[in-house]
Structure 1
Amino acid sequence: MDGISALIADPAAWAALITLVVMEVVLGIDNLIFISILSNKLPEAQRQKARRIGISLALIMRLGLLFSIAWIVGLKAPVFDLGISGAVGAHGEPSFETQFSWRDLILIAGGLFLVWKATKEIHHNVDPTPTGDVFDTAKGTLGFGAAIVQILMLDIVFSIDSILTAVGMTEHVAIMMVAVVIAVGVMLVAADPLANFIHKNPTVVMLALGFLLMIGAVLIADGFGVHVPKGYIYAAMAFSAGVEMLNIFARRRKAKAAGEADTTVP
């Protein structure tokens, strides 16, 4: 109890908490986009339930991993070495790692799954449907159980990445737990509005799938020791989303102008 009181009275602990919350929310965007796209493929009556279950599983796994910090940190220890010399970079360092830890293998597997899933969904959207609607995402083409399993698989990858980031920023488990609960709470609040926005603006699906494709490639690269600063990734995502918002706004203005023109024609 004294330890908790000391943390509450420590300004550095509050600074660490705020930083961690922001970081966890940003890292949770990837998870939320995937859950939103996947849940929108379910029948409408099951979508909200799938999102709630997916986010709840993310919270349970993150909290569970926090109680196993020693094991989580151990995931970064090398488990095998390919024993080959990688290409040399500009400063004489290897351009990729030949030693792989469990964390690396999990990131590579998760990245491959994300690339495969995003590519499959892009193909589904580009390939003309029987209704003639290229962006027909409202069809329930996925079983509820299959959706939960796929969400769970990505939850594991994103949860491990999230907790390892938290461990690197503070040593206090209580701060990590509070930050994770707040961040997942934000995800819970944002899940339905984001999924509904994607559903009402189906062209955004292609942009979101592009994000997932990029995130999958970054996870694979990270697993091979090629670390891409996450600031670059999220800056690119924010810029692309801003351009798409302008496109949506322009389309709505044109549609409104066309509607007003039709009403003035005798």
Structure 2
Amino acid sequence: MDIAALVADPAAWVALVTLVVMEVVLGIDNLIFISILTNKLPAEHRVKARRIGIGLALIMRLALLGTIAWIVQLTTPIFEAFGHGFSWKDLILIAGGLFLVWKATKEIHHNVDPADHNEDFIASSATTGFAAAIGQILLLDLVFSIDSIITAVGMTEHLPIMVTAVVIAVTVMLVAATPLANFIEKNPTIVMLALAFLLMIGTTLIADGMGFHVPKGYVYAAMAFSALVEVLNMLARNGRRKKKGEQQTLH
């Protein structure tokens, strides 16, 4: 089907909107990781690192779309263990999940016990930290990109729809990256919540790779509920501060 026919086809528009929403939701995981990681860089390097990280995510997704036949083969089992046939996709998800669990656990430890930070790491040059951040972002970009593209292939057979959905979703990520990172940085409790999300996402990736599929809806519903509870806590804290300030003004 050519482009003109796709534009005139209502079903194609429904598929595009559905796929864009799905890609944006799947991109939340990637965006949280990028936000937490880049917030550890010097302030002058953060925006650049986010743009490079998200730009690499777009390039990787478009490159993978150009090799759909190869991407589909990634789901073919290459060996069997524990009664489950493992494919390259499974191995990539397990490796990415283990990395996320390790990274989130390490960051939680640093947030709970800041005095235990390695002084050499803090004193290291911005270039080294920048390169390390980009390397870690690239690694997770690969994991999330493969998951994203396989999802897209399963939802539509039209390459133009997939490319359009990916470009729109990554553009949304690019626009939301800095506001989300700033919000996380200004609210320490949000940092811990975001790290808990990464732990859950990492565990889910490992489970998927092991053959135990966890519906994404349950995961994102839990994340949304936790975020709502934290927003209510923030509003309550702000209300208490405001009330305390008014009482001090009266006295």
Q: 1:46-65 maps to which residues of 2 (within 5 A)?
A: 46-65=45-64
CA distance in 2, matches of 1:191, 1:183: 12
Which of 137, 143, 157 is 2:129 aligned to? Answer: 143
**Any idea what the Cα deviations from partners look like across 1:216-261, whole Å, max 9, x if unmatched?**
0000000011000000000000000000000111111111111111
Q: Kindly provide the amino acid, as one letter, of the partner of residue 25 in structure 2.
A: V
Query: Which residue of 2 is the match for residue 191 of structure 1?
Result: 177
Does residue 240 (structure 1) correspond to residue 226 (structure 2)? The answer is yes
**Any idea what the Cα deviations from partners look like across 1:141-189, whole Å, max 9, x if unmatched?**
x700000000000000000000000000000000000000000010011
CA distance in 2, matches of 1:118, 1:39: 14
Instruction: Tell me, yes or no, if the aligned pair for 2:74 and 2:87 is still in contact at 8 Å.
Output: yes
Query: Which residue of 1 is the match for residue 37 of structure 2?
Result: 38
Query: Which residue of 2 is the match for residue 200 of structure 1?
Result: 186
TM-score (norm 2): 0.94
Query: Which residue of 1 is the match for residue 73 of structure 2?
Result: 74
Q: 1:138-217 maps to which residues of 2 (within 5 A)?
A: 143-217=129-203
Structure 1 SS opposite 2:157: coil
CA distance in 2, matches of 1:260, 1:47: 37
Structure 2 SS opposite 1:163: helix
**Any idea what the Cα deviations from partners look like across 1:52-88, whole Å, max 9, x if unmatched?**
1110000000000000000000001111123x5x4xx
Instruction: Tell me, yes or no, if the aligned pair for 2:23 and 2:148 is still in contact at 8 Å.
Output: yes
More helix by share: 2
Structure 2 SS opposite 1:48: helix
Equivalent residues, number? 242
Query: Which residue of 2 is the match for residue 218 of structure 1?
Result: 204
Which of 255, 258, 263 is 2:241 aligned to? Answer: 255
CA distance in 2, matches of 1:188, 1:128: 30
Inter-CA distance 79–126: structure 2 relative to 1 (3 Å threshold): same
Structure 1 SS opposite 2:86: strand
**Any idea what the Cα deviations from partners look like across 1:121-153, whole Å, max 9, x if unmatched?**
01111114389xxxxxxxx8x700000000000
CA distance in 1, matches of 2:176, 2:27: 11
CA distance in 1, matches of 2:150, 2:178: 28
Query: Which residue of 2 is the match for residue 108 of structure 1?
Result: 94
TM-score (norm 1): 0.89
Q: Kindly provide the amino acid, as one letter, of the partner of residue 74 in structure 1.
A: Q
Percent pairwise identity: 74
CA distance in 1, matches of 2:132, 2:190: 24
Q: Kindly provide the amino acid, as one letter, of the partner of residue 19 in structure 2.
A: L
**Any idea what the Cα deviations from partners look like across 1:3-28, whole Å, max 9, x if unmatched?**
10000000000000000000000000
Query: Which residue of 1 is the match for residue 120 of structure 2?
Result: none
Give the unaligned 5+ runs of structure 1.
87-96, 132-139
CA distance in 2, matches of 1:164, 1:37: 26
Q: Kindly provide the amino acid, as one letter, of the partner of residue 78 in structure 2.
A: V
CA distance in 2, matches of 1:208, 1:130: 21
